[in-house]
């Protein structure tokens, strides 16, 4: 499944340095303290983390309260051993550049910080504890309960938020290119009359592109195979 905190991708045999033993990220990195593991993906491991001191946060970082976040830890040693090391490093740099240019929005997972510590690179993001929308969907009652998993009003509530989030991203020159149920995180589920509404945020900018940022992939077919 997906990481419940930031939507990290599931393990893949095609990931960086497949077969290399997984290392554990440092217990402390920059001004942060690593907590429990939230999930593992092809490119890294996601941990809960807490801020020790705002004084050590990267220049330009905005550290909200409460200071508990999701930290995606990428082992640069693993990445550099990959057959696609050059491409993976460029992808990492592009993702960091994109995240830094996105201002806060209620329907987009908030970027907090990015930093290197030894042989590790970290993305620090807003922690969203409700899991992804795919998991929320499969946990809903089935047709046997005489109702669809999501009612029309519940679907429309999600779609409105996604349209607002995507419109915000496009207005800031960012094309997501991999929007799917697993890349939509659930902030909360709340009762509204007979409906259960999901408040959501868009996450995972690993395939995103900045409009006008070089050639290429904006005109190529990219995304997750099951959704293309």
Q: Where are the domains of the chain?
A: 28-126, 133-227
Which tens digits make up the pLDDT trace of 113-140? 999 999 999 999 999 999 999 999 998 8
- Please give the angle made by the CA atoms of 134, 48 and 138, to the nearest 5 degrees: 15
Q: What is the pLDDT of residue 78?
A: 87
* Per annotation, catalytic residue among 152, 178, 199, 213: 178
Q: What is the pLDDT of residue 66?
A: 60
Which tens digits make up the pLDDT trace of 170-206? 999 999 999 999 999 999 999 999 999 999 999 999 8
What is the distance of C-alpha 117 from the center of its chain? 20
Q: Give the domain 28-126 fold.
A: Phosphorylase Kinase; domain 1 (3.30.200)
Asked if 193 contacts 205 with a C-beta cutoff of 8 angstroms, the reply is no
Q: What is the pLDDT of residue 215?
A: 47
Hey, which of 161-170, 200-209, 219-228 has the most confident mean pLDDT? 161-170
H-type alpha helices, the chain: 76-81, 85-101, 133-139, 152-171
Q: What is the pLDDT of residue 220?
A: 59
Q: Which has more confidence, 100 or 53? A: 100
The pTM assigned to this predicted structure is 0.79
To the nearest whole number, what is the mean pLDDT of the chain?
84
133-227 — its CATH code?
1.10.510.10
Active site residue 132: no
**CA–CA dist 185, 40 (Å, integer):** 16
């Amino acid at each position: 499944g997906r990481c419940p905190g930031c939507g990290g991708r599931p393990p893949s045999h095609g990931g960086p340095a497949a077969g290399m033993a997984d290392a554990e990220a440092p217990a402390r990195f920059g001004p942060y303290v690593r907590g429990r593991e939230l999930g593992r993906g092809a490119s890294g491991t996601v941990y809960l983390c807490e801020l020790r001191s705002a004084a050590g946060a990267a220049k330009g970082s905005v550290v909200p309260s409460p200071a508990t976040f999701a930290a995606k830890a990428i082992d640069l040693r693993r990445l550099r051993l990959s057959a696609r090391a050059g491409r993976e490093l460029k992808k990492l740099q592009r993702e960091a550049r994109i995240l830094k240019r996105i201002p806060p929005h209620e329907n987009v997972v908030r970027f907090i910080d990015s930093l290197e510590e030894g042989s590790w690179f970290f993305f620090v993001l807003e922690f969203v504890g409700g899991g992804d929308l795919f998991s929320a969907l499969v946990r809903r009652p089935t047709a046997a309960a005489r109702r669809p998993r999501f009612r029309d009003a519940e679907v429309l509530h999600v779609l409105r938020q996604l349209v607002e989030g995507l419109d915000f991203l496009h207005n800031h020159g960012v094309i997501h290119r991999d929007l799917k149920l697993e890349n939509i995180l659930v902030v909360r589920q709340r009762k509204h009359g007979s409906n259960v509404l999901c408040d959501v945020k868009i996450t995972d900018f690993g395939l995103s592109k900045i409009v006008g940022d070089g050639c290429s992939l904006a005109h190529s077919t990219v995304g997750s195979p099951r959704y293309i």
